[in-house]
Amino acid sequence: MQDEERNAAEAAAARARLQLDQSPTPSDREEDQDDLNQDFAPREFSRVDHVRFAQEFIQEISEATYYNGKLDKTTIANLENPLEGPTDIEDPDTRLSLNLFISCGNASEQTYNSVRQDILACFPGTGVLSYHMVKKFVAEITGVYSISDDMCINSCHAFTGPFKDLDQCHVCNEPRFDPIEFACSGKQVPRQQATTIPLGPQLQALRRSKEGANAMCYRDKKTTEIIESFNAAYTVDELVYGDIFSGEDYLDLAEKHSLTEDDTTVMLSIDGAQLYQNKKSDTWIAVWVVLDYDPNTRYRQKHILPAVIIPGPNKAKYIDSLLFRSIHHLSALQRANNGAGLRVWDGIKEETVFSKTMFILGTADAVGLVELDGRVGHHGAHGCRLGSEMKGRHKPNSGHYCAAHLRPNDSPSADSNHADFDFRSDSVGSSRDTPEKYQAKLNLLVSSRDQAEYEQNRKSTGLSKPSILCGLHTERMLIVPLCNTQDLMHLIKINLGDLLLPLWRGTLRCDPTDNKATWDWAILTGDTWIAHGNYVASTTKYFPSSFHRPPRNPAEKINSGYKATEWYLYLFGLGPGLFRTLLPKKYWRHFCKLVHGVKAIMQRKITGKQLREAHSFLCQFVEEFELLYYQWRTDRLHFCRPSLHSLLHICPETHHIGPGAYYTQFTLERCIGNYGQKIRQPATPFANFMQIAVRESQLSALKTIFPVLDTETTASIPQYSHDLGNGFILLRPRTRYAKKLDGQEGIVVGNMTENLVIRKWGRLHLPNGQVARSLFSEERRTAQNKRNSRNVKFCQGEKHEFGEVQFYFMLEDAAGILKAYALISQYGPPDADMLEDSYQQLWACEYRGDQELKVISISDIVSVVSMQPLPPMDGEPGNLWFVVEKSGLDDIILTGYVDDL
């Protein structure tokens, strides 16, 4: 017993030592919680219009109920007394109408009516509902509908909150209503409207069926599993972060408020969208992500709940006014039934339960986050998105502050001469705002007596206004600012490339006092850049199809919409191998430190040891970047962009809210793409986009309530395939008859069986969604643009190895059980010098063909990888290939790109 107590005490101490920050303990937060609850509600309105408007929105949100949120009587009745049990859709005509409505989801109303007429012509007695009737029926049984708010024709703001009674725009003075229509008919017809889809009815639909209610139990089970694993860990290195629920902030929230399986956790994600590539269309869209699902299904389109569609053509001046309706409704859900939460019918318990709706995160890119969190832009004096104390350095004759950590030697500006950032401190990157610090800064900002004092306080606090999220119930959320974080998709996969590549190309702005001739890192110029671009384009054929979009020729396409996945595969996939022969060694090795850190933090599951190592490498990269490139020069301050400072926060944020792969903007970006592809009325794209969002929300709710209508979950595996269990499926092509193996293949397989007569299989579906092909299947393909998907990563004991699959086959073991294997050609060991020089990031090995054939179990295969030919340096062998893995290995489902069976 004493040993057990001692082990428990050591585990608790280990967890305490993990603190990457110096934030207050949970008990400290609880003591101040009551004060914070009061402080976040405005006591005195600011004299500055911009701040006062935000306070008025917050005030209304903090007083939200079902009855002051523009909900109709039917919706309120459903929220207070949800429908019990599933609706009967066994009637053949009703079922046919619903199936037809779902099948025509990407088509027009005319298509539905045409198909309906054809059915009635063939079967006159069939009672297929009209489009209008089935649409009405779907809205009634799902309870999902939209709320419209008038907004300025120039997208300045919506007429909500403090603007609700205005007849013209507060910013541009454009009339709210159509003057021509009013003159002709006397009716007040709004010129433009934004659409909000209330969250409550969508959440009620999630638990109506047994399948839906069961899927929503993941969070509760995962939380218990995480707590047990943390308690069992003896050292910091043994802790495993495998979801948002691994974060300390969530665990504290769950413990304090005793969250149960009935409660619901949500994340809000907002971003701008350009509906047409060559047309101005600054639409904004926000969605809810329900975190209670298993990550393997959480980010699928049917589980993404639309929140608000904000039409263009311009960016809104007051985003708060357009987010107001969604946040107001969430606040009403949190405060409903005296704080007990939303009433929901549970399909498993077959009873109505109270579900607390907990707000966990608000996410956006660096630009959108300014609107959500109320901080200044990232070029402000305190532009850190997490509110750390790190102050930027002002560049003379510029309105920007640069994120330089080291003091320049020659700066005439007092705003640049503060002390160097301490990279040796134990709290590097972890000094983010606490709720107490945030409230103190907010109080200072609100107390500004005039615009001049506001500008001064804005600069010193890094805040521009209170966040609209402050209006939510503070006991039903990760309190502001803990609910705001960084987006790894834009940071890692776009912003860093947008800094490094212009440096290496020598296209980054060079001040008159600087000289590009001294930029010894600028090597991607002239013919070298063109040749490099052609080489990158030639790598496409070596990328598996599951890697989605391989990088195009950067010399031709880098300025015309390079995608996030292209940036990642180019920089962090191909980069260690391709830049080795181009960059001077000190810059290449410095870049490899970034690759090491990035690959670690992009994983869906990361250990405490990996987290510590990644943090160390990222800190080294940031410090050495300033030593190598910026070199303490004022005229190079603009080299130090905010993305560099953000790298210091990634690992501490993992400790707080779990791995960043679970809250990137990938989900919203894919949602925007899916909705945009369905636009069928280019003359009225905004209205059509809003209708699509409402329809998709209703269809998602319909499929959740009636799983039998969801063909995605009922789809069977392809004909003539063989399901091996645990997510492994053998797929065609296969040989028609079993044939005898000969040559080296026969010798290797013969070592495990005397029967050399086997049937070859060509493809294997893996649990992570990838399809691993083989030499047997790819030799049969004659297309010129075919891509290599036959290289895999597999386990050998505790080690990972790489090999080229020759084919798959099955054999009976001694007990007569059929088991599946793969014959692979294993690549040689990695070059030790390259591995060391690259900080374990360049795994370059020799392809040995038939000389290294071996048989492995298909369960040993982890993922499909790309093997790229390594450009040799003088004196090196030419038959070396280096490994490129997809970010996070098993993140295919998170990003939505899954191979087709």
User: What was the pLDDT predicted at 899?
Assistant: 53
pLDDT classification of 682: cutoffs 50, 70, 90: low
pLDDT classification of 598: cutoffs 50, 70, 90: very high
Whether 419 is covered by a domain: the verdict is no
The chain-wide mean pLDDT, for the chain, equals 88
Indicate the number of domains in the chain.
1
For the segment 524-539, what is each residue's pLDDT rounded down to a tens digit?
999 999 999 999 999 9
3-state helix, strand, coil split of the chain in percent (to 5) is: 45, 15, 40
Residue pair 810/840 in contact by the 8 Å Cβ criterion: no
Place of tokens 């600028």: 522
Pairing of strands 866-869, 193-196: unpaired
- How is residue 452 written in tokens? 């001049």
User: What was the pLDDT predicted at 36?
Assistant: 42
Q: How far apart are the first and last CA of the chain?
A: 54
Nearest to 200 by CA among 62, 79, 346, 46: 79
- How is residue 312 written in tokens? 């263009």
- How is residue 30 written in tokens? 């609880």
Q: What percent of the chain has pLDDT over 70?
A: 92
For the segment 269-297, what is each residue's pLDDT rounded down to a tens digit?
998 877 665 555 578 899 999 999 999 88
User: What was the pLDDT predicted at 901?
Assistant: 54
For the segment 463-484, what is each residue's pLDDT rounded down to a tens digit?
999 999 999 999 999 999 999 9
Separation CA 433–CA 22 (nearest Å): 10
Whether 821 is covered by a domain: the verdict is yes
- How is residue 586 written in tokens? 């000190």
- How is residue 831 written in tokens? 């070059």
For the segment 866-881, what is each residue's pLDDT rounded down to a tens digit?
999 999 988 787 789 9
Range of the domain at 745: 716-895
DSSP bridge partners of 305: 288
Whether 827 is covered by a domain: the verdict is yes
**Residue 825, C-beta contacts closer than 8 angstroms, at least 6 positions apart:** 803, 804, 806, 847, 848, 849, 850, 852, 853
Nearest to 461 by CA among 381, 351, 345: 381
Whether 69 is covered by a domain: the verdict is no
DSSP bridge partners of 811: 819
Whether 750 is covered by a domain: the verdict is yes
On the CB side of 547, how many CA atoms lie within 13 Å of its CA? 30
**If you average pLDDT over residues 45-58, what whole number do you get?**
94
Q: Would the pLDDT of 576 be above 80? A: yes
Pairing of strands 757-758, 739-740: antiparallel
For the segment 321-364, what is each residue's pLDDT rounded down to a tens digit?
999 999 999 999 999 999 999 999 999 999 999 999 999 999 98
User: What was the pLDDT predicted at 221?
Assistant: 96
Separation CA 106–CA 466 (nearest Å): 41
Provide the CA 543 distance to its chain's centre, in angstroms: 23
DSSP bridge partners of 801: 794
Q: Would the pLDDT of 897 be above 50? A: no
pLDDT classification of 17: cutoffs 50, 70, 90: very low
**If you average pLDDT over residues 848-873, what whole number do you get?**
94
Pairing of strands 264-274, 357-363: parallel
Which among 519-533, 676-690, 781-795 has the top mean pLDDT?
519-533
Provide the CA 859 distance to its chain's centre, in angstroms: 29
pLDDT classification of 43: cutoffs 50, 70, 90: low
Whether 732 is covered by a domain: the verdict is yes
Compute how many other C-beta atoms are within 10 angstroms of the C-beta atom of residue 602: 26
Q: Would the pLDDT of 692 be above 70? A: yes
**Residue 718, C-beta contacts closer than 8 angstroms, at least 6 positions apart:** 731, 732, 901
Separation CA 727–CA 771 (nearest Å): 11
Whether 84 is covered by a domain: the verdict is no
Residue pair 172/191 in contact by the 8 Å Cβ criterion: no
CATH number for position 750: 2.30.30
**Residue 300, C-beta contacts closer than 8 angstroms, at least 6 positions apart:** 893, 896
The model carries a pTM of: 0.90
Whether 765 is covered by a domain: the verdict is yes
**Which has the higher per-residue pLDDT, 91 or 621?**
621
